[in-house]
């Protein structure tokens, strides 16, 4: 009974983190699409809100991924502690686990590119802008090109999150 309670708690945390991993790019996408209606011209106040929101989500994304990793490792270890061996998995579950791990790793790579590459550059460029002042044309162009790159990576991350969600459904597959 203790094993089942621990497993249920780990699975609940794992599922919350999994939903968070999918929700973050989903809601970021909605915000970016709304902002896109105004075109690639700087609207300082609007763009400040967008940048603050998108870049403020980074710690949440990292927390969700870390929670996925920790709970994903803890569940088989929980079984091992109570039974002295890892649970045997059906071939379908093994394939689903491999797919899930590959796509989670892909999400981590994408987040690294965004959080440590694109976001710092966007912050640096945005710091040169000021309300009511015309932005430097080259910097404005770079700003929106960098945002477009981030948007494309977020779209990919959202697709990866959906694959992870679907693959997770097959982890309990039994013969």
Does the pLDDT of residue 175 top 80, yes or no? no
Interhelix angle 44-56/2-36, nearest 10 degrees: 160
**Distance from C-alpha of 20 to C-alpha of 63, rounded to nearest angstrom:** 9
In the block, tokens 């621990």 appear at 6
Report d(CA 93, CA 169) in Å as an integer: 9
pLDDT (tens digit per residue) in 114-170: 999 999 999 999 999 999 999 999 999 999 999 999 999 989 988 998 999 899 999
pLDDT, averaged across the chain: 92
Number of folded domains in the chain? 1
Would 175 be classed as within a structural domain? no
Q: Whole-model pTM above 0.85?
A: yes
Tens digit of each residue's pLDDT (9 = 90 or more) over 84-127: 988 888 999 999 999 999 999 999 999 999 999 999 999 999 99
Instruction: Report the pLDDT averaged over residues 19-43.
Output: 88
Cα–Cα distance measured from residue 127 to residue 158, given in angstroms and rounded to the nearest whole number: 28
- The rounded distance, in Å, linking the Cα atoms of 108 and 62 is 8
Average of pLDDT values for 8-29? 88
Residue 134 DSSP label: P
Which structural domain range is residue 38 located in?
2-169
- Note the pLDDT of residue 57: 86
Close Cβ partners of 63 (under 8 Å, ≥ 6 residues apart) = 17, 20
């Amino acid at each position: 009974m203790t094993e089942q309670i621990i497993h249920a708690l780990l699975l609940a945390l794992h599922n919350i983190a999994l939903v968070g991993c999918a929700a973050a790019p989903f809601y970021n996408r909605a915000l970016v699409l709304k902002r896109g209606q105004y075109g690639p011209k700087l609207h300082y106040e609007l763009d400040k809100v967008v940048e603050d929101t998108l870049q403020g989500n980074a710690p949440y994304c990292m927390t969700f991924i870390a929670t996925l990793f920790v709970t994903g490792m803890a569940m088989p270890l929980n079984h091992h502690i109570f039974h002295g061996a890892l649970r045997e998995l059906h071939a379908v579950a093994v394939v689903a686990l491999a797919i899930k791990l590959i796509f989670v790793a892909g999400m981590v790579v994408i987040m690294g590119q965004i959080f440590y590459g694109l976001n710092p550059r966007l912050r640096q460029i945005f710091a040169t802008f000021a309300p009511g002042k015309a932005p430097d044309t080259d910097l404005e162009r770079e700003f929106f090109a960098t945002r477009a790159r981030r948007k494309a990576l977020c779209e990919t991350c959202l697709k990866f999150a959906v694959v992870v969600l679907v693959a997770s459904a097959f982890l309990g597959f039994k013969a």
